[in-house]
Amino acid sequence: MSHPPLRSTRLLDHLRERIRYAHYSLRTEKTYVYWARFFIRFHNVKHPKDMGAREVEAFLSYLANDRKVSPSTHRQALAAILYLYKEVLGIQLPWMEQIGRPRQRVRLPVVLSRCEVALLLAAVDNRRQLICQLLYGAGLRLMECLTLRVKDLDFDRKTIVVRQGKGDKDRLVMLPTRLIEPLRKQLSRSRALWAEDRSNRIPGVFLPEALARKYPRAAESWTWHWLFPSPTLSTDPRTKQYRRHHQYEQTVGRALSCAVAQTQIPKKVTAHTLRHSFATHLLESGVDIRRVQELLGHSDVSTTMIYTHVLSSSAAGTASPLESLPDIPN
């Protein structure tokens, strides 16, 4: 597939252009640029076109043996380097497909009990509580929740439209009845910030892809405003415009960490733990795994199957053979 000519002259700017042309997320852009820069600096700023399989494998070996990165990080670095060669430099060589990939480890997700979820959500501070309730109540990923727009809520049908989720896919999830009133109050707070921005002539919120050109006024409209806007203005990392962003991931992570410390839950809890718990609790309740797959937005049901390994009806409900051993007198 042919690409438009590159406009920039610096290699990393070339990489950014190609990533944006492919409509990859800002997170992917930052990650790929990080690994490309790391790779080049590791080889004393030698240009990638003058390097090959030996240099790539030396870099990956350094990551695995000296930095001791995880297999997922190892694969991420390799993907970034291969993208640089294939999409930016236009180099497709046999050695690129022959480089060994680390074996993926299968890890069971951390899942909270219903009681632990209730304790945790009650302990989260009021500013982040609704976000965490949605993570668990609708099985959302953190960024899917934070990037919700006003128009994505349908109170009549009690549904939420998740747009451009992982893999750039849209899906429909439930809107929990007990969150309807809190969400209406959040909309009121969001509208106050929207009205303030319009009064101060602040540029509208970020719009995906070419929508900003197709609908020039949409970015300033109420329907496209963030459900969870940041209380402060900031500079858009791509357009450099000073505008209102959605709330930041780190604030939710800090709020959860404080709540875990307060409740003394002896598990490693992140925002994604609430999504894991959502899926497991649905399966425990008898919801069909295909339906859970749709709600989570998984492309393959095998990804959803991981939650069947942590159901209370399996290992936790099976008697150990130790229980049936006869008592032997001392």
Q: List the catalytic residues.
A: 141, 166, 272, 275, 298, 307
**For residue 251, which of 229, 266, 236, 273 has the smallest C-alpha distance?**
229
Could you give the CA distance from residue 261 to residue 252 in angstroms, rounded to a whole number? 14
Distance of alpha carbon 98 from alpha carbon 216, whole angstroms = 47
H/E stretch holding 233: strand 229-235
* Core vs surface per residue 170-194: b (16+ CB within 10 A) or e: ebebebbeebeeebeebbeebeebb
**CA-based nearest residue to 41, from 17, 62, 19:** 62
* Residue 315: alpha-carbon gap to chain centroid: 30
Q: Which residues, other chains included, contact 231 with Cβ-Cβ below 8 Å and sequence gap of 6+?
A: 193
C-alpha dihedral sign at 128, 129, 131, 135: positive
User: Is 177 within 8 Å of 158 (Cβ atoms)?
Assistant: yes
Nearest-angstrom CA–CA distance, 105 and 44? 32
